[in-house]
Amino acid sequence: MARPTGLIYDVNETPPPAVLGFSTVQHVAVISTLLVYPVILATEAKLSSSQLLDLVALSMIALGVATVLMTMRSRWVGSGYLCPAGFSLIYLGPSLYALHHGGLAAAFGMTMVAGIVQLCIAPILPRLRALLPPEIAGIVVAITGLSLAVLGTRYGLGLGTTGGIRAEYVSITLLTLVIMIGLNTWTRGYPKMFSSLIGAAAGMIACKLAGIDFLTPLPAEGFPLLQVPSMSHVEWRFDVKLLAPFVIAAVAATVILMGNVSTAQRINDSDWVRPDFKSLSGGLAGSGLATFFCGLAGSLGMISSISSVGLSQATGVASRTLGYAIGALFVALAFVPWAVYFLMATTAPVMAAMLIFTSMFVLTNGLQMITARMLDQRRVVVIGLSFAMAVMADVYRDVFATLPDALQPVFGNSLVLGTTCAVVLNLVMRIGIRERESLQLAANMNPGDARDAIDQFMSEHGARWAARHDVVNRARFCLQQAVEVIGHPPGGVDTPGGMEITASFDEFNLDVRLAYQGEPLPLPERKPDAAAILASDEGERLLAGYLLRGSADKVQSTNRAGRAMLHFHFDH
């Protein structure tokens, strides 16, 4: 694991108390902007102001428990990386649908079912990796980043609250965003780490001076000092008719978690090339337990917070200890009514700036995950059409609202629609994906032309298979070096048959075989000494074989009936 340049505290390091405290508050402030989703659910359910406060408090307890479950490192539960929880449009759409067809009891009951679905997927997740490749996770992360930016823009313009564009909203949103970006880009140390919190504080002051009120009005009866949240509004009901939207939401939340945990892994390792599925499975188990707990406690379902993962990259603080501190603070504040109100009662411009700020890193992470592979026509279709469908769901929201109620949970949410489209298209495009290609190097071909032919062969088929750039480059290097060491044509220009290269790819493995007439190339496990290398040409072959062994994940040299074969295996 190589430490990235911008990382200040990695997953296994504990920041100093001051850094840990301020970072915790900063993450809580970012995640708290997502409390608007439980508020929307409570408002649609026409709960009283006290019940609304109880629902949000219970949601905060669920956030704290979920953050610990997804962040902890254990054998069965937890990703082992900083992966805080957060609310999302993914579960809001199905929950509102359930609310209108069965009340809050149906929303809470089916949320528990979604958690069970994730728990069932968790142990078999490694076997599903062919159905949920990294680019699918990248699509979901990128679409989520785009959705955050769209939502932030609506609030920044005033469309989310006033119904029309307000100049003061735009001005304060831009001011807050400029402070966040400026501190994050051109400063170091504490100002960079706490850029989001400092910008939000400046935005709140500007909102106060401009007379912009909180999104949630202050209750007239005031608050007690401490209060245990009431569960008087919590009931549970299960309805098979509501199963489909919550299963889709659970799958979408699973893909998002895969993207977030993969991003967290990449934040901590500059040499990251593929997800660690043990970590992904543990994180998904934690997410499933957390979602089940959300329904049990009377809260909206939740996902891993993409905003927080983006914030950890922006600030360079990715400590696992921070996840525990975030969880503990959310649970503690849930018993303080005025703190509950303060966290959910942000202003529209500040919420807009925080959403847009984090969306930049989220969207970029998604695009990086997508472009980590060489994109063939199949992947272009999956990625392009999924993005297009997600954008259409946002742009033509009113049109999709006229579709039958049964389709609303899918077409009424850009993230669910984009995820569903990506998963289905990926399944369709996998038809005929397993292929085998070969290249014949004629006996009279000169070495330069042989190298060019290998380069063209690996580039063309690597792109068609959507193989990762680094794997294709390693295979190309091994083949070219092997041909040069063996000598082409081996044994002289009169060697019959020349060389044959065969490459096969099955999504997770790239196997390349080089067959030729002659002696097999030795592959020593230990580097030959200088004397053996200089003694004869055989010493040079020993050194070349040793270097080739280290260039592939597995190398095997065999000889059958006078025909040698060099087999390179690369994990993908």
What stretch of H or E contains 499? Answer: strand 499-505
Token output for 27: 């993450």
How far is residue 6's CA from residue 247's CA, in Å, rounded to a whole number?
Answer: 38
* CA 14, chain centre distance (Å): 24
What stretch of H or E contains 289? Answer: helix 277-297
Token output for 540: 């040079």
CB-based contact 329:28 (threshold 8 Å): yes
The 10 Å CB-count burial string (b at 16+, else e) for 520-536 is: bbebeeeebeeeebeee
* CA 62, chain centre distance (Å): 22
Can you say whether the dihedral through the CA atoms of 42, 45, 49, 54 is positive or negative? Answer: negative
Per-residue pLDDT, 161 = 62
Task: Give ∠ CA 247-252-256 in degrees, rounded to 5.
Answer: 145
Per-residue pLDDT, 179 = 94
Per-residue pLDDT, 68 = 94
Token output for 124: 């078999």
The length of the chain, given as a count of residues: 572
Domains contained in the chain, CATH given:
17-374 (no CATH), 435-571 (3.30.565.10)
The set of residues, in sequence order, having a beta carbon less than 8 Å from that of 113 and lying 6+ positions away, is 238, 243, 246, 295
* CA 467, chain centre distance (Å): 19
Residue 163: phi, psi to the nearest 5?
A: 85, -5
Per-residue pLDDT, 495 = 43
Per-residue pLDDT, 491 = 44
Per-residue pLDDT, 568 = 92
CB-based contact 518:507 (threshold 8 Å): no
Per-residue pLDDT, 96 = 79
HSE toward the beta carbon, residue 399, CA cutoff 13 A: 5
How far is residue 74's CA from residue 547's CA, in Å, rounded to a whole number?
Answer: 38
Token output for 313: 């990259």
Task: Note down pLDDT in tens along the chain; length 572 residues.
Answer: 677 777 888 888 888 999 899 889 888 888 887 787 888 788 778 888 788 888 999 999 999 999 999 999 888 898 999 989 988 767 877 887 888 888 899 999 999 999 999 999 999 888 777 777 777 777 877 887 787 788 788 888 887 666 678 889 999 999 999 999 999 889 877 788 778 878 988 998 999 899 888 766 666 666 777 889 888 888 999 988 888 778 878 887 888 888 788 888 888 887 776 678 888 999 999 999 999 999 999 998 988 887 788 888 888 888 999 999 999 999 999 999 888 887 777 788 888 888 788 788 778 877 877 877 667 777 888 888 998 888 888 788 778 878 877 677 678 777 778 888 888 888 888 766 667 888 988 877 777 888 899 999 998 888 777 777 888 888 998 898 888 888 744 444 344 457 889 998 877 788 999 998 877 888 887 787 777 666 666 777 777 788 888 788 888 888 877 788 899 998 87
How far is residue 260's CA from residue 303's CA, in Å, rounded to a whole number?
Answer: 10
HSE toward the beta carbon, residue 261, CA cutoff 13 A: 30
Amino acid found at 289:
L
* CA 267, chain centre distance (Å): 11
* Long-range own/partner contacts, residues 166-169 (CB < 8 A, 24 or more apart): 168/210, 168/212, 168/349, 169/212, 169/348, 169/349, 169/352
Report helix, strand and coil shares of the chain as percent, to nearest 5.
65, 10, 30
SS3 call for 248 = helix
Per-residue pLDDT, 464 = 76
How far is residue 413's CA from residue 153's CA, in Å, rounded to a whole number?
Answer: 17
How far is residue 333's CA from residue 340's CA, in Å, rounded to a whole number?
Answer: 7
